[in-house]
C-alpha cells in the first residue's frame, strides 16, 4: 500500500513539475510576445509609484493583458526596484519585456507635456504643448510672451505644478547675445541673473533641455562651450584660400550670412559674395551691419534705415566711431553682429565657388545673385517691380487711381 501511495505521489509531483514548467514557459512567452496595443500611448509614472500601479495602468490602457505576468517578469529581471519617474511613450505592439525596459532605464521623457521657451530675434515665446501619441505630433495648449504678457495662461500654471513636465529653451539663429541674456534673465523657470553679456557671436543657437531652478549662468556657459566647439571644428575644416586669418573673422562673416538669409542652400552662396568682395577689396555694404552699429545688438531698430545711417552719422553720434557700418568701413566690421548657427559658420569657412559679387531679393523669399553690376541692376529693377505690384495689391484704391 505504501508503495502504491508513494508511486501516486511521485506521479502527482512529476505532473505538477511539468505543469509548473509549462506555466513558466507560457509566462515567459507571454512576457516577450508582441503586445495588444493598437496605437501608441503615453504612460505617466509619478514619483513614488509602484510597479503594481504601473501594471494596472498599462492594463487599463490596453497595453498589456496580464498585470501579474508583467510584475513577475519585472521581478525575474530584477528591474522592479528600477522604476523611473517620468512620461514614457509606449509604442504600438510593445511587449511587456520592452515596456519594462522603457519604464526602468530612465532618461529624458519621451511624451507628455512640454514647455518650450523660444528666444527669437523679434520676441520670446513660451509654448505649452502635449505630444499626441497616436500621431507623434505636438498639440499646442497655450502660447504667450513670458517677458511681456501680464496675464499668464492657466495651462502654463497647471503644467508648471506637474512634476513630469519637461522644459526646453530654443535659441534661434541670428539673435544677439544681449537679447539672449535679457530673455534668460526674465524667465521664471531659471534662477540667478547674468549681468555681463558674453561676446557677440559666442552663444550657440540650439535647443537646450533644462530643469526648473537651473541657473542662467550655467546655461550661458553651456552655450559658450558649444559655440567654441562648433567654431573650432569648422575652422579646422576650412577652405585653403580664405581672405581672412582667424576664427573670429570667420565668426564675423558667418553672422552676416545668418542675418542675410534663412534659406539653407543660400548660405554658401551668400558667403561666397562676402568672400569675393573681401578678396577683391570691395566694401561689403550690407544693411544688417548698419543696424548693429546703431543698436549694438540691444533691441531692434524700430524705423527704416536713413541716408544718415548709411553715411555712418548715426553710429558716430551714438558711439563716437563707425565700427560696424560696412558702407563706410573696409572689409569686415569690427566683430560679429549676431550669434550664427552651425550652418552659417560652416558656410563662412567653406563658401560656394562662385564669381558672385551681388544679390538682391527675388520675390520668392530667396535671392537673385549676380556677377556683374549690370546683371545686378536688372535684378534690382525686377525686385522693385515686384514690390510695386505687391503694394498695389495691398491698396486697391491706389491701384485704381494709378490706372
Look up residue 306 and give its DSSP letter: P
Query: Do residues 101 and 74 touch, judged by C-beta distance below 8 A?
Result: no
* Confidence category of residue 41, pLDDT binned at 50, 70, 90: confident
Span of 148-152, 363-367, 368-372 with lowest mean pLDDT: 148-152
Q: Which of 339, 353, 322, 366 is nearest to 121 (CA)?
A: 339
Cα–Cα dist 337/289, whole Å: 7
Residue 185 has pLDDT above 60, yes or no: yes
- Residue 273 CB partners (closer than 8 Å, separation 6+): 354, 356, 357, 358, 359, 369
40-60 mean pLDDT? 88
**Average pLDDT in the chain:** 88
Look up residue 210 and give its DSSP letter: E
Span of 89-103, 114-128, 209-223, 308-322 with lowest mean pLDDT: 89-103
Maximum mean pLDDT: which of 78-87, 302-311, 358-367: 302-311
* Confidence category of residue 394, pLDDT binned at 50, 70, 90: confident
Q: Which of 56, 155, 159, 158 is nearest to 112 (CA)?
A: 159
Residue 86 has pLDDT above 90, yes or no: no
Run of H or E including 251: helix 247-260
78-104 mean pLDDT? 88
Cα–Cα dist 71/59, whole Å: 12
Three-state DSSP at 96 gives helix
Span of 101-115, 154-168, 280-294 with lowest mean pLDDT: 101-115
Span of 6-10, 131-135, 214-218, 258-262 with lowest mean pLDDT: 6-10
Look up residue 172 and give its DSSP letter: P
Other CB atoms within a 10 A radius of the CB of residue 292 amount to: 28
Q: Which three cell numbers stand for residue 72?
A: 513577475
| pLDDT recorded at residue 88 | 86
Query: Do residues 190 and 184 touch, judged by C-beta distance below 8 A?
Result: yes
Span of 93-107, 223-237, 264-278, 302-316 with lowest mean pLDDT: 93-107
178-189 mean pLDDT? 96
Residue 23 has pLDDT above 70, yes or no: no
* Confidence category of residue 403, pLDDT binned at 50, 70, 90: very low
* Confidence category of residue 395, pLDDT binned at 50, 70, 90: low
* Confidence category of residue 402, pLDDT binned at 50, 70, 90: very low
| pLDDT recorded at residue 106 | 73
Please tell me which residue, 290 or 166, carries the higher pLDDT value: 290
- Residue 214 CB partners (closer than 8 Å, separation 6+): 189, 190, 191
Q: Which three cell numbers stand for residue 335?
A: 566683430
Residue 372 has pLDDT above 60, yes or no: yes
116-124 mean pLDDT? 95
* Confidence category of residue 139, pLDDT binned at 50, 70, 90: confident
Residue 70 has pLDDT above 70, yes or no: yes
151-157 mean pLDDT? 90
Residue 156 has pLDDT above 70, yes or no: yes
Q: Which of 114, 165, 137 is nearest to 40 (CA)?
A: 137
**For the purposes of burial, counting CB atoms within 10 Å of the CB of 398, is it exposed (0-12), middle (13-18) or buried (19 or more)?**
exposed
Query: Do residues 174 and 197 touch, judged by C-beta distance below 8 A?
Result: no
* Confidence category of residue 14, pLDDT binned at 50, 70, 90: low
Q: Above pLDDT 70, what percent of the chain?
A: 91
Residue 225 has pLDDT above 80, yes or no: yes
* Domains of the chain, first to last: 25-105 (3.30.1490.480), 113-231 (no CATH), 238-392 (no CATH)
| pLDDT recorded at residue 89 | 86
Residue 15 has pLDDT above 90, yes or no: no
Other CB atoms within a 10 A radius of the CB of residue 68 amount to: 12
| pLDDT recorded at residue 242 | 94
Q: Which of 110, 141, 105, 111 is nearest to 126 (CA)?
A: 141
Residue 136 has pLDDT above 90, yes or no: no
* Confidence category of residue 20, pLDDT binned at 50, 70, 90: low
Other CB atoms within a 10 A radius of the CB of residue 236 amount to: 9
| pLDDT recorded at residue 398 | 47
| pLDDT recorded at residue 401 | 46
Amino acid at each position: 500500500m505504501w508503495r502504491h501511495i508513494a508511486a501516486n505521489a511521485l506521479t502527482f509531483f512529476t505532473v505538477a513539475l511539468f505543469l509548473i514548467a509549462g506555466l513558466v514557459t507560457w509566462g515567459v512567452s507571454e512576457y516577450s510576445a508582441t503586445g495588444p496595443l493598437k496605437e501608441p500611448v503615453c504612460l505617466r509614472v509619478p514619483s513614488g509609484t509602484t510597479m503594481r500601479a504601473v501594471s494596472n495602468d498599462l492594463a487599463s490602457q490596453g497595453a498589456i493583458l496580464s498585470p501579474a505576468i508583467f510584475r513577475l517578469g519585472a521581478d525575474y529581471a530584477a528591474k522592479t526596484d528600477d522604476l523611473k519617474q517620468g512620461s514614457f511613450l509606449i509604442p504600438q505592439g510593445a511587449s511587456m519585456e520592452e515596456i519594462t525596459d522603457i519604464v526602468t532605464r530612465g532618461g529624458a521623457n519621451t511624451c507628455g507635456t512640454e514647455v518650450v521657451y523660444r528666444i527669437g530675434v523679434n520676441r520670446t515665446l513660451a509654448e505649452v504643448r502635449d505630444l499626441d501619441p497616436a500621431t507623434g505630433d505636438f498639440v499646442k495648449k497655450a502660447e504667450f510672451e513670458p517677458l511681456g504678457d501680464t496675464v499668464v495662461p492657466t495651462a502654463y500654471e497647471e503644467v508648471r505644478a506637474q512634476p513630469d513636465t519637461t522644459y526646453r529653451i530654443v535659441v534661434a539663429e541670428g539673435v544677439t547675445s544681449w537679447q539672449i541674456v535679457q530673455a534668460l534673465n526674465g524667465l521664471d523657470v531659471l534662477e540667478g541673473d547674468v549681468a555681463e553679456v558674453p561676446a557677440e557671436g559666442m552663444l550657440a543657437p540650439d535647443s537646450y533641455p533644462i530643469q526648473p531652478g537651473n541657473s542662467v549662468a550655467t546655461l550661458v556657459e553651456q552655450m559658450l562651450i558649444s559655440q567654441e566647439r562648433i567654431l573650432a571644428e569648422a575652422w579646422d575644416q576650412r577652405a585653403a584660400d580664405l581672405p581672412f586669418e582667424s576664427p573670429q573673422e570667420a565668426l564675423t562673416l558667418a553672422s552676416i550670412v545668418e542675418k542675410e538669409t534663412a534659406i539653407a542652400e543660400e548660405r554658401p552662396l551668400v558667403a561666397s559674395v562676402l568672400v569675393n568682395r573681401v578678396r577683391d577689396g570691395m566694401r561689403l555694404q550690407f544693411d544688417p551691419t548698419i543696424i548693429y552699429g546703431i543698436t549694438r545688438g540691444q533691441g531692434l531698430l524700430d524705423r527704416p534705415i536713413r541716408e544718415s545711417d548709411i553715411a555712418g552719422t548715426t553710429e558716430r553720434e551714438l558711439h563716437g566711431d563707425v565700427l560696424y557700418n560696412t558702407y563706410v568701413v573696409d572689409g569686415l566690421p569690427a566683430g560679429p553682429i549676431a550669434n550664427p548657427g552651425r550652418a552659417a559658420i560652416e558656410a563662412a569657412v567653406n563658401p560656394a565657388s562662385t564669381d558672385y559679387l551681388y544679390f538682391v531679393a527675388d520675390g520668392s523669399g530667396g535671392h537673385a545673385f549676380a556677377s556683374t553690376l549690370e546683371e545686378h541692376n536688372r535684378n534690382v529693377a525686377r525686385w522693385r517691380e515686384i514690390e510695386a505690384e505687391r503694394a498695389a495689391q495691398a491698396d486697391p484704391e491706389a491701384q485704381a487711381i494709378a490706372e
